[in-house]
Structure 1
Amino acid sequence: MAEGEPPTSETILPDPALPEHGGHRQRLRDRARRGGTSVLPDYEVLELFLFRSIPQRDVKPLAKALLSRFGSLSAVLSAPLEDMLQVSALDNKGRALKMTPDIALDLQLMFEATRRLMAEPLKRSTVISSWQALLSYLRVTLAHEPREQFRLLFLDKKNQLIADEIMNYGTVDHAPAYPREIMRRALELSASSVILVHNHPSGDPMPSQGDIDMTKAIIAAGKPLKIAIHDHLIVGREGVLSMKQVGAI
């Protein structure tokens, strides 16, 4: 740009002495400090995180674009990296704001911290006595998974959690489960019982006939080894279904 020439939309640079959109950022931070972060709508919670990843830009349009694309804050945070990278928006000066791998990682770290926080109660008591905590943990972990995921919760004789492991990832409507592999792993961990878990990306947690047949096969494989199947939980966007409670097993 020649000396004295006014800047164009491509050459505008933020004045380091007056960070672009800094007034809005400070007002949002002050409001969060005064009233607590629980009063903030979802897009402003996302804004506060994006402030750290994208300095001196208006990030509200990107926060709203993420919510529009995925539907909820929890769905944004648990979205796969490749899906996050497809989201973009225009800032208040008409310039493109795009998700990058680093920005997506920052959001995924928030999800991982939440998941670990909700897993803590399961480590300190018996899983059976912490059933609601278990259901909340599974909803956070699996409700927005785009593919089926088959997990195994291995318990000891006191029904305390030994391990929470992913056995298989599948497609949008099927995740394979192998009774022999499940029992082999249970024996390796000296587990006395297992809770089976998988998600339905369609959102409906009702078991299919395939789910029921698979569960009965796993129960049969465990009987001669005296390894019990406590339940098979199916996670959908609207909640968690217990196959035992609905009489499916």
Structure 2
Amino acid sequence: MTADDDPGLRRAANHRDPSTANADMPSENHARGHRERLRARFMRAGVEGLHDYELLELVLFRAIPRRDVKPLAKDLLRRFGGFAETIAAPVERLVEVKGVSQGVARELKIVHAAAIRLAQARVLKRPVISSWTELLAYCRAAMADDPIEQFRILFLDKKNILIADEVQQRGTVDHTPVYPREVVKRALELGASAIILVHNHPSGDPTPSRADIEMTNQIVKAAQALGLRVHDHLVIGKDREASFKTLGLL
């Protein structure tokens, strides 16, 4: 009996798309199974049990509910160099990658913001001396992959406890205007007794420039006049940082 002979068969045939009826279901089932297995492995083994592209897949799952996101995850890693570099990339660069919508970029930036907030929580309200490793990790998370130079100040109380962390200025790819009077003024407003200066070099090389040294000397003089100490000036590069104190520049 054909569809032409039976009205019921004819209705069923009319509602079935022959190009997708049999092909979509296995694909969706496979994708769903892969996602469930990857999530289970993450819960069992943690981040150490995953490759960077797999961790990135877990993030992309939230923004792309059904499509296979492994190729996109690998494309992003090739483009930006690693998981940290990918989530830290500017939105305008992320959306240049085929398959990255504003929604996908937003999910990546949420993960980046959460990572920074977690690192910050480990150092705020704690003595800087005993949490120096965490402090450096926080600065790297917040600044190392920023394509724009930023200058931030860590404010300390009399016991060297970090009471505030603020971005003072943002500049260009290789310059940030800093005004010593504003730095000192803000320290006094917060009741700080000492400060640590921090800025990043988007070039990746943390070697202090002559301008960095001159600017630091100006801030030190302004701070000393009001009884404030400058403990250090950290320059954050791509994979390492430079300390003015360690280099004998402070």
| TM range, smaller chain | 0.7 to 0.9
Query: Counterparts of 2:22 and 2:78 in 1: how far apart (Å)?
Result: 29
Residue 160 of structure 1: aligned partner = 161
Residue 37 of structure 2: aligned partner = 27
Q: Verify: 1:201 aligned to 2:202, yes or no.
A: yes
Q: How does 1:96-245 map to 2 (within 5 A)?
A: 98-245=99-246
Q: Verify: 1:7 aligned to 2:14, yes or no.
A: no
So what's the TM-score if we normalise by structure 2? 0.88
1:20/1:56 contact within 8 Å kept? no
Gaps of 5+ in 2: 1-12
Q: Which amino acid is the alignment partner of residue 221 of structure 1? A: A
Residue 53 of structure 1: aligned partner = 63
2:125/2:163 contact within 8 Å kept? no
Query: Counterparts of 2:211 and 2:205 in 1: how far apart (Å)?
Result: 15
2:149/2:175 contact within 8 Å kept? yes
Deviations 1:90-136 (A, max 9, x none): xxxxxxxx212221111111111111111222124211221111111
1:172/1:201 contact within 8 Å kept? yes
Deviations 1:58-94 (A, max 9, x none): 1001101111111011111111111111112xxxxxx
Query: Counterparts of 1:12 and 1:114 in 2: how far apart (Å)?
Result: 42
So what's the TM-score if we normalise by structure 1? 0.88
Worse-superposed segment, 26-35 or 116-125: 26-35
Q: Verify: 1:62 aligned to 2:62, yes or no.
A: no
Shift in Å, 1:174 = 0.7
2:41/2:49 contact within 8 Å kept? no
Q: Which one of 12, 19, 39 corresponds to residue 49 of structure 2?
A: 39
1:79/1:145 contact within 8 Å kept? yes
Query: Counterparts of 2:116 and 2:130 in 1: how far apart (Å)?
Result: 20
Query: Counterparts of 1:120 and 1:78 in 2: how far apart (Å)?
Result: 19
Deviations 1:33-75 (A, max 9, x none): 4433321100001111111211111100110111111101111
> What percent of counterpart residues are identical?
50
Q: How many residues align?
A: 237
Residue 94 of structure 1: aligned partner = none
Q: Which entry has the higher C-alpha Rg, 1 or 2?
A: 2
Query: Counterparts of 2:209 and 2:22 in 1: how far apart (Å)?
Result: 57
Query: Counterparts of 1:49 and 1:170 in 2: how far apart (Å)?
Result: 30
1:151 aligned counterpart, secondary structure: strand
Query: Counterparts of 2:47 and 2:225 in 1: how far apart (Å)?
Result: 53
Shift in Å, 1:17 = 11
Query: Counterparts of 1:170 and 1:17 in 2: how far apart (Å)?
Result: 48
Q: Compare the two structures and name the one with the higher helix fraction.
A: 2
Query: Counterparts of 2:24 and 2:71 in 1: how far apart (Å)?
Result: 19
